[in-house]
Structure 1
């Protein structure tokens, strides 16, 4: 075990190899989300050494938020050329006026780029690690998120037909950095990561180190808590799927069926349905108010909830999900 701590590479490449082999069909291509930071640079290096029958590629999302964005894209280009890995550089425009904050807007633009450039047969591998998971769990809890938010990131999920995998999600940041140094890798540093004006950076640099001073295993404990919450979230999804079978009329839901559900089960079903459709789930208060309207609306009333992807609208005793045209 001491040798593994001093030389993390052999152990980590084996874990990543097992993770990918267990979850990816050999005839499906792999694409790595490559920011140029230590985590994604290491992930691509490990996968390159492992090889993959259907081939490995990378995608770099150029957000244009930093004066160094062009240099980061060039670094990724040079790195991928060195590894003989095809690279797509996707330039996006981040909507700073969206009202959801720069971090969330950049994430939305990034995932839009993934959808635009990657086929649905592709396995997209992202390099978030255990520290990122701890930050996500704490951030979501402080926002008052429910069970799904407290579950943090999943190490695998299907998004718009694409499989998203996070092979490093259980790996501490220090182990990743040690492995990258052992392999002699270079990477870029995003100066915005030090800006504690961003909520996640504030948690990473100010809050979590303070917590770790009192609770040395805090990061690992938060990751374990995420696993526990994920089990609860999975059970809620199973319940929602069963409720949907009872109320569904084609791709709509009968109001009479919805009104047999408790408020908690109705909200759970609405959240689940939005997630199945790939729509953004509204904040808890908006969803609860819409659910209340569904349960109490008179026959001549037509409650409606507008969302970025479309509308949930009650009409003629049926609840419909109407995408934007």
Structure 2
């Protein structure tokens, strides 16, 4: 079966019928991809367009947008050029920064439901897996690049993963395609280039089927990663409690491997990624710390803390911002979250007769008492925090809504009885979106 027929079958197997957007760098891989996609679009009556990302990192690349426009036009495709700003950060390589800028621009260029096609091939897959090995990655990293995944407002497809660069080059020569060559690809100071130029040629010379066997390993790792995710989906509902806290006694009932899997997926669901060593530290020095300790582990901009045999992810850098005067239907940025007052019929809310001009938000008020709605009497705030299981570090982040000197509500925790509306009547509803 020729490359085009295999390409059509690959697209069909991925079950994709949306509009097509090709990421077109002008290099060999994306040029072959655009030629195949343009032919498929013509024969199937589908819409296709191309986007070229100009990074502005080298002078030679300034001529590539015009080249991409010409090549795309010769294939009957419109090509749009988008310039990006590549920003380096601490411990971020130029490769990673450029990739981040490129994918951010591609996601922004996509239309809802559109399919982004990228020209990654079998050699790229091998390089990605070897780089993951260098980092000491687990099965998720060793799964390398999937054929299809959600991306932006649509999906990203890699329909060329089954072909080697040599096969793509042979096709391009037969079809007399024209492509550009990035001179930076020869610079083996970059990790991926080092593998491509110095390592893989020797491996493939010794073992010609090396790329294919690596691809099979990546697919097996992808299956294992999927199984691990399914196992976490079974375990976590019984472990996750109020405020997305994770039960330590529940984790102790699991085997070490299963416990690590549940912990890792719980963290990732909250945007926190950690190494195996950090995961071990989290369990030994936070979860299993002595009872009278207040342990924490910093993971980037987040912290993992323990309270009453539960683990919490906390936005460590958040600083509460008090607010004087509230307005209806406007989101207030309070540093630790967003708050809005909306007047409508719903759950029991705040008394509709409240004067919004007298209301203000404070944080960390010490002492005082409150009588929450539904409770038999008033209690000191300190006792209420304990009864509502609010961790000590979280108490400073709970917005306290006051009418003058009187506490109206601890937002997200309770409403004081004297300021509550009657059931079923329109009232001021507190909409709270905490950062944690």
TM above 0.5:
yes
* 1:73 shift after superposition: 1.9
Distance 1:119 1:232, change over 3 A: same
Q: Which has the higher strand share?
A: 2
Instruction: Determine the structure 1 residue equivalent to 2:312.
Output: 319
Which residue is equivalent to 1:272? 265
Whole-angstrom CA distance in 1 between matches of 2:37 and 2:90: 36
Distance 2:96 2:276 in 1: 18
What's the offset of the Cα at 1:160?
A: 4.9
C-alpha distance in structure 2 between counterparts of 1:135 and 1:120, whole Å:
31
- Of 16, 25, 39, the match for 1:35: 25
1:50 alignment partner in structure 2 = 40
Q: Is 2:118–2:157's contact at 8 Å kept on the other side of the alignment?
A: yes
Aligned-pair CA distance for 1:302:
5.4
| C-alpha distance in 2 between matches for 1:162 and 1:312 | 32
Q: Is the 8 A contact 1:290 1:305 kept in 2?
A: no
Q: Tell me the SS of whatever aligns to 1:31.
A: strand
Rounded Cα–Cα distance in structure 2 between residues aligned with 1:254 and 1:293: 16
Secondary structure in structure 1 of the residue aligned to 2:59: coil
Bigger relative contact order, structure 1 or 2 (CA pairs below 8 A, ≥6 apart): 1
The alpha carbon displacement at 1:19 in A equals 1.5
Q: Residue in 1 aligned with 2:10?
A: 19
1:201-254 CA-to-partner distances (Å, cap 9, x unmatched) read 111111111222322221222112112222222211211221222223477243
The answer for the alignment partner of 2:222 in structure 1 is 230
Whole-angstrom distance in 1 between the partners of 2:185 and 2:37: 25
**Cα 1:272–1:81 shift into 2, 3 Å:** farther
Distance 1:275 1:312, change over 3 A: same
CA distance 1:62–1:36, shift in 2 (3 Å): same
Aligned with residue 148 of structure 1, among 140, 149, 168: 140
Q: 2:156 aligns with which of 149, 159, 164?
A: 164
Pairwise CA RMSD: 2.6
Q: Residue 299 of structure 1: CA displacement?
A: 6.6
Residues in 2 aligned to 1:225 and 1:211: alpha-carbon distance in whole angstroms:
16
Q: Is the 8 A contact 2:272 2:299 kept in 1?
A: no
SS in 2 for 1:68: helix
CA distance in 2, matches of 1:188, 1:166: 21
Q: How many residues align?
A: 312
Go from structure 1 to structure 2 and tell me whether the alpha carbon gap of 1:272 and 1:19 turns closer, same or farther (over 3 Å shift). Answer: farther
Where does 1:199-214 land on structure 2 (aligned, <5 Å)?
A: 199-214=191-206
Q: Distance in 2 between matches of 1:94 and 1:130?
A: 27
In 2, Cα distance between equivalents of 1:280 and 1:159: 19
Aligned pairs (5 A) from 1:1-325: 11-26=2-17, 28-51=18-41, 53-160=45-152, 162-249=154-241, 252-256=244-248, 257-273=250-266, 275=268, 279=271, 281-297=273-289, 298=291, 301=294, 303-307=296-300, 311=302, 313-314=304-305, 316=307, 317=310, 319-320=312-313
Q: Matches of 1:181 and 1:276 in 2, distance apart?
A: 46
Relative to the length of structure 1, the TM-score reads 0.85
After superposition, give the CA deviation of every residue in 1:106-126 in whole Å (9 maximum; x if it has no partner). 112222222222234221111
Q: Please tell me whether the aligned partners of residues 98 and 105 of structure 1 are also in contact (alpha carbons under 8 angstroms).
A: no
TM-score w.r.t. length of structure 2: 0.65
Normalized per residue, the structure richer in helix is 1
Equivalent-residue separation in structure 2 for 1:161 and 1:194 (angstroms):
35
Report the structure number with the largest CA radius of gyration: 2
Range with greater deviation from structure 2 (30-39 or 238-247):
238-247
